[in-house]
Copies of this chain bind each other. A is one copy, B any other.
Amino acid sequence: MGSILIKNILLDGQPRNVLIEGKRFKSLSAAAGAVAQTVIDGTGKALLPGLYNMHTHAAMTLMRGYGDDTPLERWLEDYIWPYEAQLSSEDFHRGYELANREMAETGTVFFNDMYFSLEEAIDVVAKSGLRAALGLVVLDGHTHSIGPEVLDFLKTWKDPTGGRIRFTLAPHSIYTVSGAKLVRIARAARENGLPIHMHLAETRTEVSNCIRDHGMRPVAYLDSLGLLGPDIILAHCVHVNEEEADILAERQVTIVHCPCSNMKLGSGIFPYEHLIKAGCRITLGTDGASSSNNLDLREAMKFAALLSKVSASPDLLSASAVLEWATVRAAEAFGIDGGVIAEGKLADGILVDLNNVKMQPCYNLVSNFVYSADSSCIAGVLCDGKLIYQR
């Protein structure tokens, strides 16, 4: 069992010696002389929880900047889908590698992915050291959409990572997957203990088409199909009214807010006030790097907090609240025993360089990290008790 001692690192305002044994934090107040296989000097650094990127299409990093500055529907139909149709397994592998590297360098320890070429994704995650929930994507008419045989594969699959990889069933959206198929997917998901991950209520067009086709808004439609529950993760939820917010809260749905993607594609402004007041579980994502245009969840925290302030109220979403969206709320959604720095919890975390000019002065560590920092302030990243990145 590996062990790491991080000496003299700032935690909750105090310099501490943090001992990690195996995958977990053993002690947050270890003796300076505690024995460990690896000793890291934490002087001039602070320890914060690692980030959970709750909505990615990781290998789409291959399409970063491709078809920029175009509205969502045209961007998907004219640029993204034709490009994807031509991707080989090798391309996907490169895309996943690039994405995993970017996430590790920007402080992310977990990503909830919805994309293709599962074997490549597994191979890369096994090597990168991150945690991932890999979505088995269903998308009517798409070249890489999965069929029922994938569920058989899961039954015999052995996790090469000792628990860092899990799966979701991921029907793309209500406008690309029929209602009947959504019901079948939900049944399969629940029979196999898999969460469901899909897009919902991203654009005005999606809402008006849903009303046209089903006589209901998207949240009511999914609810009528029986999909809403604590095991569903809905990316975007931009066009959700107060009544729908209450339904999402009551069903204990997990919402993934992707501020940069929604802003860049002009999808709309997330209804912070409704969703926070309704008590919804809100988490954060970047979306694919082809829309957002990176996988930097720390940056997404700043965008979310600032957009909430200008669109709703300056004191609705503090730096520490948005950090919870980016960490522990997401861990809870997946039942991962992490997302906070605490003894006994999974040893994930970010070593923040306090000597970086963007972290100076430091009246408020979390405020500096959310509002001022960038990836140049990230000195190292721990995941599952291992140092997966060091600047």
Q: A residues bordering B, Cβ < 8 Å? A: 61-66, 68-71, 98, 101-102, 105, 260, 262-269, 289, 292-294, 296, 299, 303, 305-307, 309-311, 313-315, 318-319, 357-358, 360-364, 367-368, 371-372, 374-376
- Further 8 A-B residue pairs, CB within 8 A, beyond A65-B371, A68-B364, A262-B310: A64-B361, A65-B362, A68-B371, A71-B315, A98-B357, A267-B310, A269-B311, A376-B376
User: Which residues from chain B contact A368 at a C-beta distance below 8 Å?
Assistant: 64-65, 293
- Chain B residues within an 8 Å CB radius of A64: 360-361, 363, 368, 372
Decide: B65 and A367 in contact? CB cutoff 8 A. Answer: yes
Q: Report the bound CA distance from A315 to B64 in whole Å.
A: 18
Q: Mind listing 24 A-B residue pairs with CB under 8 Å? A: A61-B360, A62-B361, A63-B363, A64-B363, A65-B362, A65-B363, A65-B367, A66-B364, A69-B318, A70-B315, A71-B314, A102-B357, A105-B376, A264-B305, A264-B314, A266-B309, A266-B310, A266-B313, A269-B310, A293-B367, A293-B371, A294-B371, A303-B306, A307-B310
Give the oligomeric copy count.
2
Q: Which of B63, B265, B296, B364 interacts with A65 by CB under 8 Å?
A: B364
Interface of A is mostly: helix
List B contacts of A361 (CB < 8 A). 62, 64-65, 98
User: Which chain B residues border A65 with CB–CB below 8 Å?
Assistant: 361-364, 367-368, 371-372
What is the CA–CA distance of A318 and B267 in the complex, to the nearest angstrom? 16
A293 to B305, alpha carbons, bound, how many Å?
Answer: 12
Residues of B contacting A374 with CB < 8 Å? 296, 299, 374-376
Bound together, the chains give a CA A92 to CA B305 distance in angstroms of 30
Q: Determine the chain B residues whose CB is within 8 A of the CB of A292 once the complex forms.
A: 371
Cα–Cα distance between A299 and B367 once the two chains are bound (Å): 16
Residue in B closest to A66 when the chains form the complex, CB atoms: B363
Q: Is the CB of B269 within 8 A of A102?
A: no
Task: Report chain B residues within 8 Å CB of A305.
Answer: 264
Query: Which residue on chain B has the smallest CB distance to residue A292?
Result: B371
